Amino acid sequence: MTPLLDPSKIHDIWLPFTERSKLFSPIPQENLIQGSAVKLNSNALELHDGRKIPFDFAVVATGTKSSLKSTAWTKSQGLQDAEELCAALKKASNIAIVGGGQVGVELAAKLCSELPNTHVDLLHRSSTLLSKMAGMNDAARKKILAVLQQFPNITIRLQDTIVNSDIPRKDISFERCLLHTQSGNQINADVTILTTGNIPNSKFVADGLGKSVLDQNGYVRTNPDGSVEGFPHIFSAGDISTLDSVKLAHQAVNQAEIVSKNISVLIEAGYFGQNDIQVGKLKLQKYSPAQKWLARVNLGQLGSVMKIWFLVIHSKK
């Protein structure tokens, strides 16, 4: 969220595809393909422009969509989008955030901290904030609510959501609109941001391998060794996979390590998809989901709230 109000930071987090020396140095240039996957078949990946890439092994690591993730294809477009968002936020008198999960709560705290003259409305359907966040407990949720309420420029509306049918159904809308809430309130918002949850980028997987590879929420059903259920040569790691309910970069990196080691084991054993080596007999590493004893939520200038086992700690800045 750092670049939200300071787009110059985008320069540091966007690595152009061409700067491969920084990220992908061991991979030859001709093996780096920029494109959007539209269908994952069991032996070839189809791209948006009709190209087909055959493979012996594949790894699905397409993450999730969310309102604060850029969908730009180039650094210049990413910068332009960030500048547009930053300008709209700085100009706004009232910002509505719909969804009080971790992204909504941290975003509200950041905006309240850095834009003290802007009013922020945070709406959440459930009776407690962070109702679905892994590792949370009621004491931590209560503490976070109490700390957030210390911001003079926030209104937190629990068990409420917007009911308009006329507002643009975009993740972020810069159009000034009158929002009607379920409980009968009205909010004049200059910017409306939907933080109602992440949507897995998995349609292209189901389109090729069948809907049964996805769970009820659209995540790729993944065995503890990282392979996709029913496909020992296709792996899945990071936010898109069911390996862990905790969706954080650290977990994604651990999963990537296990997946790359397991693919090496399969290659060394001579397994290439269709031959008759029994994968079950190979010694593949297994991922253990993150312990949920620790959870942390950043609350801008009011510090952060951490839950460690049953202890709730508010560390002030």
Ligand X SMILES: Cc1cc2nc3c(=O)[nH]c(=O)nc-3n(C[C@H](O)[C@H](O)[C@H](O)COP(=O)(O)OP(=O)(O)OC[C@H]3O[C@@H](n4cnc5c(N)ncnc54)[C@H](O)[C@@H]3O)c2cc1C
Stretch that binds ligand X, among 85-93, 121-129, 248-256, 306-314 (CB under 6 A): 248-256
Helix (H, G, I), strand (E, B) or coil at 228: strand
- Matching residue, tokens 């068990």: 159
Q: Amino acid letter at 13?
A: I
Q: How far is the CB of 1 from ligand X (least distance, A)?
A: 6
Between β-strands 44-47 and 52-54, what pairing exists: parallel, antiparallel or unpaired?
antiparallel
Instruction: Please report whether residue 204 would count as binding ligand X according to CB under 6 A.
Output: yes
Stretch that binds ligand X, among 164-172, 174-182, 216-224, 233-241 (CB under 6 A): 233-241
Q: How far is the CB of 90 from ligand X (least distance, A)?
A: 19
Q: How far is the CB of 239 from ligand X (least distance, A)?
A: 4
Q: Which is nearer to ligand X, 42 or 164 (CB)?
A: 42
Instruction: Please report whether residue 78 would count as binding ligand X according to CB under 6 A.
Output: no
Q: Which of residues 121-180 bind ligand X (CB under 6 A)?
A: none
Indicate which single residue of 108, 238, 263, 295 sits in contact with ligand X (rule: CB under 6 A). 238
Size of the site for ligand X (CB under 6 A): 21
How far, in Å, CA of 235 to CA of 249, rounded?
Answer: 18
Q: Give long-range contacts, CB 8 A cutoff, 24+ apart: 14-23.
A: 14/75, 14/78, 14/79, 15/75, 16/74, 16/75
Indicate which single residue of 36, 74, 93, 315 sits in contact with ligand X (rule: CB under 6 A). 36
Helix (H, G, I), strand (E, B) or coil at 75: helix
Per DSSP, 221 falls in state P
Instruction: Please report whether residue 60 would count as binding ligand X according to CB under 6 A.
Output: no
Contact status, residue 128 vs residue 138, Cβ threshold 8 Å: yes
Q: How far is the CB of 276 from ligand X (least distance, A)?
A: 32
Contact status, residue 201 vs residue 65, Cβ threshold 8 Å: yes
Q: Which is nearer to ligand X, 157 or 247 (CB)?
A: 247
Cα–chain center distance at 128: 21
Distance (Å) of CA 156 to CA 119, 162, 280: 11, 13, 51
Q: Which is nearer to ligand X, 103 or 266 (CB)?
A: 103
Instruction: Please report whether residue 33 would count as binding ligand X according to CB under 6 A.
Output: no
Q: Which residues contact 267 (CB under 8 A, 6 or more apart)?
A: 57
Q: How far is the CB of 298 from ligand X (least distance, A)?
A: 8
Q: How far is the CB of 270 from ligand X (least distance, A)?
A: 29
Instruction: Please report whether residue 97 would count as binding ligand X according to CB under 6 A.
Output: no
Q: Which is nearer to ligand X, 33 or 178 (CB)?
A: 33
Q: How far is the CB of 172 from ligand X (least distance, A)?
A: 12
Q: How far is the CB of 165 from ligand X (least distance, A)?
A: 27
Cα–chain center distance at 212: 22
Instruction: Please report whether residue 68 would count as binding ligand X according to CB under 6 A.
Output: yes
Indicate which single residue of 173, 192, 196, 201 sits in contact with ligand X (rule: CB under 6 A). 201
What residues does 308 pair with on adjacent strands? 294, 311
Q: How many CB atoms lie within 10 A of CB 166?
A: 8
**Residue 184 exposed, middle or buried by CB count within 10 Å (0-12, 13-18, 19+):** exposed
Instruction: Please report whether residue 244 would count as binding ligand X according to CB under 6 A.
Output: no
Q: Amino acid letter at 267?
A: I
- Binding site residues, ligand X, CB under 6 A: 1, 36-37, 61-64, 66, 68-69, 103, 201, 204, 238-240, 247-250, 252
